[in-house]
Amino acid sequence: DAMVIQNPRYQVTQFGKPVTLSCSQTLNHNVMYWYQQKSSQAPKLLFHYYDKDFNNEADTPDNFQSRRPNTSFCFLDIRSPGLGDAAMYLCATSSPSGGVQEKLFFGSGTQLSVL
């Protein structure tokens, strides 16, 4: 039944070692988002795709990249993780319709630890 699926649930990486988090969706939504949520803080938008169009937030570090090979999948690549990148990473989707169903569907998140 899960509609937005994130793998893995928990990820441990080493300082400076590249890591990839994955997200897939069964909703066929146009838009996919990546949020970073540090402990006891609000989720912070890193970037989003509207179909194949990539939209980076101005303050997202260059260390974070994303790929969307098709409608269903989106990846978050962290090129050189630092200790400050330890966080929960949330993927979300939406299908803008201009109507009242403007809402985001979130996955369960990937908790990233950096050692």
Partner 1 sequence: GEDVEQSLFLSVREGDSSVINCTYTDSSSTYLYWYKQEPGAGLQLLTYIFSNMDMKQDQRLTVLLNKKDKHLSLRIADTQTGDSAIYFCAERTAGNKLTFGGGTRVLVKP
Q: Contact residues for partner 1 (CB under 8 A)?
A: 4, 6, 31, 40-45, 48, 50, 90, 92, 94, 96, 100, 102-109, 111
Please answer whether residues 32 and 93 qualify as being in contact, where contact means their C-beta atoms are separated by less than 8 angstroms. Answer: yes
Peptide bond just before 69 cis, omega within 30 deg: no
CB of 10 to partner 1, least distance (A): 9
CB of 55 to partner 1, least distance (A): 8
Task: Give the residue with the Cβ less far from partner 1, 66 or 94.
Answer: 94
CB of 5 to partner 1, least distance (A): 11
Task: Give the residue with the Cβ less far from partner 1, 28 or 80.
Answer: 28
Place of tokens 């509207």: 50
Q: Which two tokens stand for residue 100?
A: 């009242």
Task: Give the residue with the Cβ less far from partner 1, 13 or 95.
Answer: 95
Largest CA distance in the chain: 45
Please answer whether residues 89 and 35 qualify as being in contact, where contact means their C-beta atoms are separated by less than 8 angstroms. Answer: yes
